[in-house]
Structure 1
Amino acid sequence: MKLKLLLFIWFIALSATAQNKQLLYNFDGLPQNLMLNPGGETDFDMHIGFPLLSQIHLSAGSSGISLYDIFQKGGDVNQRIRKSLGNLDRNDFFTVNQQLEIFSLGWRDQKRRYFTAGIYQELDAFLYFPKDPAVLTYEGNRNYIGESFNFSDAAFTAEALNVFHIGFTNYYSEDFNYGFRGKIYSGVFNAYSVGNRGSFRTEISPAGPNLYRHYMTGLDVLINTSGYADLLDSENVTGIGTLSKIGKRAFLGGNLGLGLDAGFTWYPSDQYRVTGSLLDIGFIRHSKNVENYRYYGSYQTDGIALLFPGSNSPSYWDEWEDELDRNLKDETLTNTYITWRPLKINASVDFGFYENAEPCNCHRPMGRRRYYNHLGAHFFAMKRPRGLNYATTIYYDRTFNENFRGKVTFTADSYSFSNIGLLLSAKLSNFNVYLAADNLLDYTNLAKARNASVQLGFQLLFTRE
């Protein structure tokens, strides 16, 4: 059981990602830049994404330890697990985020405004390391007499949804443009458990019938779910039935919500650019196929004074179980609840140099100089249940010619202080392909990596003659 607990946690970690897309942010040669900043710029006048292929995003991460810390060769694996448990705290986390663009389209009107519309699928989950419950499960309470194990350490969110969006970028002046994007969220699945309470404590009680006395105080654990319960019904276990239900929920038949993205780009001068954005200012109201699982109560016991079985011996295990049932209650409810989407914040400043004097058909503001090179800094933050997670990036963006461009990043975040990333984008006529990956230094041994990601996409880009 001890090893299974750690394997389960690392299974989640291997599916994990941060939602920071520092390689795509400010990359005006790709329409995905507008998904990160609705007020960003584009150097084309129309784009059409290849369905299911215009953006594929996969990554993995852990803020505390790597697989190598536990499963390296040699030594005692149990000792490494115990050491890892000691190194992790309740604010360490594992995240899961995967995105897939189903449909993507953009076009520029006669006033140079750029409109976008599309659908993308997203899977997002966030798990704080349950420090006290994990230690209690793995090591027991023998060495922790008098100490409390807090169930508030257990907190997680998980959801799968489709996002329908439409937005625009407007050039307000030669030096400033802004944009907004409206979103409709169609929830497929959600699980939410935050704000749990309660503690477990063991004390020595020499005056009692047993050496130890155990206290369960103020326990109140609540797990909200939607889109989960009916998938377990026997008549819906078949693949066709499950896919049918998921498909209906994904396309506006599930729990619905609303969201907003906003962003801007400002040029203090031709060479300096300042940008910022707020993404996923929104919520989902869960009222369909909802089940809430609650476990609560308080309890005190002097342990189990076991006797050898005899003709008149009571069933101590049965009595103890009945005592727990009388004091610790569990309920299954169907209460509506609301979840807020994880707000994301982007901000950047960069400096352009080595002027690009080639003719431009990209409808930029008149008189604006363009540059082959950009050197900048990007700040990212994301709202999670216990506060913001941060990342800071410095980058170098290089345009080699009208068909080939690249970007190199160096990022410090909760996973690593040496995250090097690379983005390459190539265009052949109207066809564009891009590939991005970060944490390149760890690709020689992914077991040592705390975070790694890959993004790629294919689309058609058009520029007016």
Structure 2
Amino acid sequence: MKKNNLCLLVCLVLLLPCSVDAQVNTLYYMENVPARNVLNPAFIPSQKFYIDLPVISGVAFSVGNNSIAAQDIVVKKGDELLPELQSGADHSPFLNKLKTTTNFTSESRVNLLGFGFRLPAGYFTFDISERDRVGINIPKSLIRLGFEGAPVPLETKSYNLYKIGCDASTYLEMAFGYSRKIDDSWTVGGKVKVLFGEAHADLAFSELGLDVGDQYIDLYGKGKARFTSPVAVSQRFDGLPYIRQEDAKLNKMLHPVGLGLGLDAGVAYRYDDRLQFSGSIDDIGFIRWKRSDWEGNLNAHTSYKSWDFTVDNATSNWGQQIKDSLINSYTPSFNNNQGYVKALVATVRLGADYDLVKKKINLGLLCVKTFGGRYRYNEVLTSVNFRPFYWFNTSVSYGLINGNMGSLGLGLNFIGGPFNFFVATDYLPLSYTDNNIPYKSKYVNGHVGVSLTFKDRVRKPLCHCE
């Protein structure tokens, strides 16, 4: 049945393991991991010098949504998984859990090269990373439409769907950072980033709605879709873009089609020998894309009469009708030489931490919020951080907003000689289905890597023997 298919589709979107800035915030209070400088450039690495090797020094990902988990779609009964959203069931509990707009997000970050070293008055860092970000918006009204179906006779229901949209980008980031301790209390830091755009696509509507009656539907909308690629874009018979296999050559894919700038800034204030406050803002900036290789401008106003709008009707073709109408209502254009600018998604972090046992056991609180674009993420992270030895550190955290009573954050850091290994996640699932699907988690993320780190040499005092 179509509703069961809808359940499966939502599960896949929620839990599909996509590569995703996947910044794992549990790293924020792990002092001996150089990668935490990405979260706040005011955090000076504890080592004199470090080197990030290609790929193995850092791979991070994050995927999830801001509304629901698998437990809201399927329910455990013994060893069985049964659809929670069955035909004829009360769907109001599920709909009440949905945000006005559900944001599905996927991010990734891969370190290609990096290093940092101490200066007489500060610390310098440099890194090159490959990043990608995908955000998809689905308004609650679209899901409600699927459940409610056609209204009773002589009644009309209106659905505002203009928040449907997506934005995806891939770019190379080259970052130059500097941190400096001003005095015994204040430390500041910042990064300047040069961004090389590799590919971009987006879809947005200024207007999109449905008026649904018992035997008719009116579809109207205005919007635009764009696609920018380093390789040649061809046109299908229906006007949609695609890339031919013979055009996807490596030498063309390495040419950037966008250029941008970004800034990070951070500060840390030590109130006394146990209490510290800190804050940062990352990814203030933009990418200017040189052109759009394909654009589709939508201007639709279509009416259907005697339409069988029944979600559970296996023979109903209402979805195909909407798709065909939208495809027939847009005007495609290729090789538009007019450039356009897209802002980055900025992230703000505010933190406070307190040493229960000085330099050994630490309590941390971190608030995280994103701004801009179609990516939405908010979290309040609490953590307990253990630092018994230089060569071993661990953090245990919990997300008060997205933890959903079904996950814990965990970070581990082992140092052996020059090898500094770390692995961290904010949402380690604690409950799974028999198919290994996280049952209570809205988000899944992770960051793993190994760097070469070198401490200051400890000079032993000279022995004066009598």
Q: 1:451 aligns with which of 423, 443, 449?
A: 443
Q: Mean Cα displacement is larger for which, 153-162 or 421-430?
A: 153-162
- With over 3 angstroms needed to count, the CA separation of the structure-2 counterparts of 1:295 and 1:116, relative to structure 1, is same
User: Pairwise mapping of residues 100-115 of structure 1 onto structure 2 (< 5 A)?
Assistant: 100-111=110-121, 113-115=122-124
- With over 3 angstroms needed to count, the CA separation of the structure-2 counterparts of 1:240 and 1:287, relative to structure 1, is closer
Q: Is the 8 A contact 1:151 1:196 kept in 2?
A: no
- With over 3 angstroms needed to count, the CA separation of the structure-2 counterparts of 1:372 and 1:325, relative to structure 1, is closer
Q: Partner amino acid for 2:270?
A: Y
Q: Mean Cα displacement is larger for which, 139-148 or 155-164?
A: 139-148
Q: Partner amino acid for 1:146?
A: T
Deviation sequence 1:2-54 (CA, Å, 0-9, x none): 66655554444323668452211132211111111111122111100121111
Q: Partner amino acid for 1:168?
A: Y
1:62 maps to 2:54? no
SS at match of 1:194: strand
Tell me what 1:79 maps to. Answer: 86
- With over 3 angstroms needed to count, the CA separation of the structure-2 counterparts of 1:386 and 1:53, relative to structure 1, is closer
Deviation sequence 1:344-392 (CA, Å, 0-9, x none): 001111112433xxxxxxxxxxxxxxx2221121111012447963210
Q: Mean Cα displacement is larger for which, 372-381 or 188-197?
A: 188-197
Which runs of 5 or more residues in structure 1 are unaligned?
A: 205-211, 305-319, 356-370
1:126 maps to 2:135? yes
TM normalised by structure 1 equals 0.80
Tell me what 1:332 maps to. Answer: 333
Q: Is the 8 A contact 1:176 1:266 kept in 2?
A: yes
Q: Distance in 2 between matches of 1:75 and 1:297?
A: 39
SS at match of 1:25: helix
- With over 3 angstroms needed to count, the CA separation of the structure-2 counterparts of 1:107 and 1:143, relative to structure 1, is farther
Q: Distance in 1 between matches of 2:272 and 2:38?
A: 25
1:221 positional shift:
2.1
Q: 1:278 aligns with which of 273, 276, 281?
A: 281
SS at match of 1:129: strand
What's the C-alpha RMSD, in Å, of the aligned pairs?
3.4
- With over 3 angstroms needed to count, the CA separation of the structure-2 counterparts of 1:221 and 1:8, relative to structure 1, is farther
Q: Distance in 2 between matches of 1:324 and 1:191?
A: 22
Q: Distance in 1 between matches of 2:349 and 2:100?
A: 26
1:43 maps to 2:46? yes
SS at match of 1:79: coil
Q: 2:366 aligns with which of 375, 378, 383?
A: 378
- With over 3 angstroms needed to count, the CA separation of the structure-2 counterparts of 1:387 and 1:96, relative to structure 1, is closer
- With over 3 angstroms needed to count, the CA separation of the structure-2 counterparts of 1:138 and 1:35, relative to structure 1, is same
Q: Distance in 2 between matches of 1:326 and 1:54?
A: 45
TM normalised by structure 2 equals 0.80
1:170 positional shift:
1.3
Q: Distance in 1 between matches of 2:49 and 2:233?
A: 41
Q: Is the 8 A contact 2:134 2:166 kept in 1?
A: yes
Deviation sequence 1:120-176 (CA, Å, 0-9, x none): 111211112243345546765356941112221302221122111111101222211
Q: Is the 8 A contact 1:230 1:289 kept in 2?
A: no
Q: Distance in 1 between matches of 2:246 and 2:115?
A: 32
1:31 maps to 2:34? yes
1:254 positional shift:
2.4
Tell me what 1:169 maps to. Answer: 179
- With over 3 angstroms needed to count, the CA separation of the structure-2 counterparts of 1:442 and 1:325, relative to structure 1, is closer
Q: Distance in 2 between matches of 1:46 and 1:388?
A: 35
Q: Distance in 2 between matches of 1:220 and 1:128?
A: 17
Q: Is the 8 A contact 1:397 1:406 kept in 2?
A: yes
Q: Is the 8 A contact 2:424 2:447 kept in 1?
A: yes
Tell me what 1:364 maps to. Answer: none
1:75 positional shift:
4.5
Q: Is the 8 A contact 1:18 1:61 kept in 2?
A: no
Deviation sequence 1:247-267 (CA, Å, 0-9, x none): x14xxx221111000001111
1:244 maps to 2:251? yes
- With over 3 angstroms needed to count, the CA separation of the structure-2 counterparts of 1:11 and 1:143, relative to structure 1, is farther
- With over 3 angstroms needed to count, the CA separation of the structure-2 counterparts of 1:195 and 1:19, relative to structure 1, is farther
Q: Distance in 1 between matches of 2:146 and 2:209?
A: 14
Q: Is the 8 A contact 2:343 2:372 kept in 1?
A: no
Tell me what 1:198 maps to. Answer: 208
Q: Mean Cα displacement is larger for which, 97-106 or 376-385?
A: 376-385
Q: Distance in 2 between matches of 1:87 and 1:168?
A: 44
1:352 maps to 2:355? yes
Q: Mean Cα displacement is larger for which, 405-414 or 289-298?
A: 289-298
1:296 positional shift:
1.0
SS at match of 2:25: coil
Which runs of 5 or more residues in structure 2 are unaligned?
A: 237-241, 308-320, 458-466
Tell me what 2:414 maps to. Answer: 426
Deviation sequence 1:270-311 (CA, Å, 0-9, x none): 21111110000011112235322221133456558xxxxxxx
Q: Distance in 1 between matches of 2:144 and 2:65?
A: 18
Q: Is the 8 A contact 1:56 1:455 kept in 2?
A: yes
**Identity across matched positions, percent:** 19
1:437 maps to 2:451? no
Q: Distance in 2 between matches of 1:348 and 1:3?
A: 43
Q: Distance in 2 between matches of 1:214 and 1:56?
A: 48
Tell me what 1:208 maps to. Answer: none
Q: Partner amino acid for 2:388?
A: F
1:416 maps to 2:407? no
